């Protein structure tokens, strides 16, 4: 068993080559790469396999049976990560026995890269609903303990991007321990708007645990303003 299974969602070939370059520079070497093909040509795939050891699958439903890592993390091929991200996430998750690990991150706004900084915190949604402030709607930039992830996983829909928000809500709600590193390791190159379905899922999680918490009034109002 390797320490981490990196699930690489493969879209644009040129961006994918850049992502692989960052993976090859990781200080943690004990990891595998599982690529989920989203439209690459046979020539693209052949070239990628010549650059790095990667297991490419064509359907998200094949993911679980191909995971050999103690943990798994999703990375979009449009994005890139710091060289010590996998090692930092792994050490932090092991030290605190976390089901989910995340961190601060960077994202592009206009022509600038902005730091989205979240302070260090460990807990779960039941005891500390404010921990949801650490999370956005994306399944990337989050390390999951494999046993926890697989146990809570419903069968993947063929459109991975559609099910990820629902899956993430379920995982956040049921995790025994969630932890955050306040240093940023993940660089988002694109920012997608929050959708209505995820907004209501997050709202329901909060309603379950602490309806009058300040997070309900402040955080979700901000979300509602950007719903399309």
Q: How many angstroms separate the CA atoms of 76 and 67, rounded?
A: 17
Q: What pLDDT sits at residue 201?
A: 59
The confidence score (pLDDT) of residue 143 equals 97
Reported as half-sphere exposure (CB side, CA atoms, 13 A), residue 95 has a value of: 11
- pLDDT tier, 223 (very low <50, low <70, confident <90, very high otherwise): very low
pLDDT > 90: percent of the chain? 35
The alpha carbon dihedral of 56, 105, 162, 204 has a sign of: positive
Closest to 84 in 3D by CA, of 4, 8, 185: 185
Each residue's pLDDT tens digit, 146-204: 999 988 775 554 445 555 666 777 788 889 999 999 899 999 987 665 555 555 555 56
Q: With 0.85 as the threshold, say if the pTM is over it.
A: no
From the list 37, 59, 61, 53, the residue with the least C-alpha distance to 5 is 53
CB atoms within 10 A of CB 99: 23
Average pLDDT over residues 60-83: 90
For 29-52, write each residue's pLDDT tens digit.
999 999 988 778 888 888 888 888
**What's the pLDDT score for residue 170?**
79
Give residues with Cβ within 8 angstroms of 92, minimum separation 6.
98, 101, 179, 181
Q: Which residue in 219, 218, 128 sits closest to 175, CA to CA?
A: 128
- Per DSSP, 2 falls in state E
* 205 vs 142 pLDDT, higher one: 142
**Rounded Cα–Cα distance for residues 3 and 95 (Å):** 14
Could you tell me the pLDDT band of residue 117, with boundaries at 50, 70 and 90? Answer: confident
- Taking the C-alpha atoms of residue 116 and residue 107, their distance in angstroms, rounded to an integer, is 7
* pLDDT of 211 above 50: no
| 120 φ, ψ (degrees, to nearest 5) | -55, 135
Domains and their CATH numbers in the chain = 2-225 (3.90.550.10)
Asked if 111 and 194 touch (Cβ cutoff 8 Å), the reply is no
Query: Each residue of 120-133: b (16+ CB within 10 Å) or e?
Result: eeebbbeebbebbe
The CA–CA distances, whole Å, from 97 to 89, 124, 145, 188, 189 equal: 12, 13, 9, 27, 30
């Amino acid at each position: 068993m390797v320490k981490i299974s990196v699930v690489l969602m493969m879209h644009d070939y040129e961006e994918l080559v850049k992502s692989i370059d960052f993976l090859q520079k990781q200080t943690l070497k004990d990891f595998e790469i599982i690529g989920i093909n989203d439209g690459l040509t046979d020539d693209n795939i052949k070239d990628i396999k010549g650059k790095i050891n990667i297991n490419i699958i064509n359907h998200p439903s094949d993911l679980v049976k191909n995971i050999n890592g103690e943990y798994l993390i999703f990375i979009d091929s449009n994005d890139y990560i710091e060289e010590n991200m996998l090692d930092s996430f792994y050490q932090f998750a092991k030290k605190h026995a976390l089901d989910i690990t995340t961190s601060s991150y960077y994202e592009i706004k206009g022509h600038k890269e902005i730091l989205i900084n979240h302070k260090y915190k460990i807990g779960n949604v039941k005891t500390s609903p404010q921990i949801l402030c650490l999370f956005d709607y994306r399944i990337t930039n989050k390390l999951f303990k494999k046993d926890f992830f697989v146990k809570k996983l419903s069968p993947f829909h063929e459109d991975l991007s559609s099910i990820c928000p629902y899956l993430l809500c379920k995982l956040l709600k049921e995790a025994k321990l969630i932890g955050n590193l306040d240093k940023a390791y993940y660089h988002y190159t694109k920012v997608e708007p929050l959708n209505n379905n995820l907004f209501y899922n997050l709202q329901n999680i909060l309603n379950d645990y602490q309806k009058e918490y300040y997070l309900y009034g402040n955080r979700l109002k901000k979300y509602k303003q950007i719903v399309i």
